[in-house]
C-alpha cells in the first residue's frame, strides 16, 4: 500500500523568507510524485510533478521540489515566500506500476501561513 506523510499541519513563515513544506512517501516501485495547492473555496491546482530525471523539479509560481530517493522525500520549497502563497498544500504519490487505477494517495495537507 502506498502512503504519504506531511508531518506539519501548519507552517508559518515571514514574507520574503524561504519556505519548506515537508513530504515523505511510501510506494511500491518507482514513485510518481505531485504537489497540489488548494486556496479557500477553490479546487486543487497542480503545482509540479516528478516522474524521472533531475531530482530538482521546478513548477508554477516559483515553487520547486526536491526528490530524494534514499530518504523517500519530496519537499516543496520556495526561495522567497509571498503572502499570496498562503494556502493548503497537498503532496500526492502513486506508483508508476499502477497504470490502471492511477489512484493518487494524498497526504493530509499542510497549511502555509505567510505573514506580512
Partner 1 sequence: EAQVTQNPRYLITVTGKKLTVTCSQNMNHEYMSWYRQDPGLGLRQIYYSMNVEVTDKGDVPEGYKVSRKEKRNFPLILESPSPNQTSLYFCASGRGDTDTQYFGPGTRLTVL
Under the rule (CB under 8 A), what is the footprint of partner 1? 4, 32, 34, 36, 42-46, 49, 51, 90, 92, 96, 99-109
Cβ closest to partner 1, residue 34 vs residue 63? 34
In the complex, least distance from residue 47 CB atom to partner 1, rounded to whole angstroms: 10
> Which residues, 6 or more positions from 26, have their beta carbon under 8 angstroms from its beta carbon?
1, 2, 3, 4, 72
CB 85 within 8 A of CB 111: no
111: helix, strand or coil? strand
Q: In the complex with partner 1, which residue's Cβ is closer, 78 or 107? A: 107
How many Cβ atoms from other residues are within 10 Å of residue 53's Cβ?
8
**Least gap, CB of 94 to partner 1 (angstroms):** 9
What's the closest the beta carbon of residue 109 comes to partner 1, in angstroms? 6
Q: What is the DSSP letter of 80?
A: S
- The tally of CA atoms less than 13 A away on the side-chain side of residue 97 is 6
Nearer to partner 1, 81 or 91 (CB): 91
How far apart are CB 64 and partner 1 at their closest, in Å? 17
Q: Which is nearer to partner 1, 67 or 81 (CB)?
A: 67
Amino acid at each position: 500500500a502506498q502512503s504519504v506523510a506531511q508531518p506539519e499541519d501548519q507552517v508559518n513563515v515571514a514574507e520574503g523568507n524561504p519556505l519548506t513544506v515537508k513530504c515523505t512517501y511510501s510506494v511500491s516501485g518507482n514513485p510518481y510524485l505531485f504537489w497540489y495547492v488548494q486556496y479557500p473555496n477553490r479546487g486543487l491546482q497542480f503545482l509540479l510533478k516528478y516522474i524521472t530525471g533531475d531530482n530538482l523539479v521546478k513548477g508554477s509560481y516559483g515553487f520547486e521540489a526536491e526528490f530524494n530517493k534514499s530518504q523517500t522525500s519530496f519537499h516543496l520549497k520556495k526561495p522567497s515566500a509571498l503572502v499570496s502563497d498562503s494556502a493548503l498544500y497537498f503532496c500526492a504519490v502513486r506508483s508508476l506500476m499502477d497504470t490502471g487505477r492511477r489512484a493518487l494517495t494524498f497526504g493530509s495537507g499542510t497549511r502555509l501561513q505567510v505573514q506580512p
